[in-house]
Amino acid sequence: MLDLRFSERELARQRDHITQFIRDRVDAAGADGVVLGLSGGIDSTLTGNLAVEALGPEDVHGLVLPATVSSDGNMSDAERVAQDLEITYDVIEIEPIVDSLLTAYPEAEGDHEAVGNARARARAVLNYLVANHENRLVLGTGNRSEAAVGYFTKYGDGAVDCHPIGNLYKGQVRQLARYMGVPDELVDKTATAELWADQTDEDELGIGYDTLDSILATHIDGPLSVAATARLLEVDEATVERVRGMYERSDHKRNAPPAPEPLG
């Protein structure tokens, strides 16, 4: 696969660039700080670390938002991150909210995708409830790899005020986290959105992050054709085409809802 790792100097520049971005967004909004959801995963862990470095712990409010499908290990890791960062945090169970939605529309019961996305959207509502009450911005925790293939919930984890790590591929997220002192067991843990039981990101995507990052860098964000990408990375052309398809089909998630052009 392609080596997308940063040098030591580039890691320092990325850290400084992102922390300045966070400060600039908060200042521009006249906000008093930020709110972010902590899942115990590496994306939210890195975002929390960057936010604290940018603003100080007193201006960062973490939310741990478990559902019935959330593992005890991940929720414990989420609380551990908040405690290590010395930020204020709240633990709020979201399943009562999801249950109320299914009571209103029981036909969706058992639909993994619909209910999983409802969980993500319930979390977004809570993020903004706290952020609005405290005059804070909601920080997104999405990375460049997942954004490119639409691996996020529209108006769920995609409903945020800014994406501090949105310029980093997944492997670069892990590298920057390790550089900032995040423990190895958090850096290397299996990625999961935990929208339903036993779900993992790579199983759902059907591709490993190293391969996905390399295809995105060379074909989607880079200049190489499908055939040239497949040759360079020693993968099937069908794999490159599938990533291209995910990118094209998820365009609506990355852009504002369209409206017709004004009539002349």
pLDDT the model gives residue 108: 97
pLDDT the model gives residue 73: 86
Highest average pLDDT, of 46-50, 70-74, 75-79, comes from 46-50
pLDDT the model gives residue 227: 98
Average pLDDT of every residue of the chain: 95
DSSP string, 196-244: STT--HHHHHTS-HHHHHHHIIIIISSS--HHHHHHHHT--HHHHHHHH
pTM listed for this prediction: 0.94
* CATH fold of the domain at 8-200: Rossmann fold (3.40.50)
**DSSP-based helix, strand, coil % in the chain, nearest 5:** 55, 5, 35
pLDDT at 195 over 80: no
pLDDT at 191 over 90: no
Pairing verdict, β 34-37 and 137-138: parallel
CA distance 99 to 256: 29
pLDDT for 217-248, tens place per residue?
Answer: 999 999 999 999 999 999 999 999 999 999 99
Mean pLDDT of 93-112: 97
Mean pLDDT of 174-198: 86
pLDDT the model gives residue 192: 73
pLDDT the model gives residue 72: 84
CA distance 84 to 81: 5
Mean pLDDT of 163-191: 95
Quick check: 160 and 136 in contact, CB under 8 A? Answer: no
End-to-end alpha carbon distance in the chain? 51
pLDDT at 103 over 70: yes
pLDDT the model gives residue 1: 83
pLDDT for 106-148, tens place per residue?
Answer: 999 999 999 999 999 999 999 999 999 999 999 999 999 999 9
Distances (CA, A) of 87 to 44, 76, 105, 217: 14, 15, 37, 35
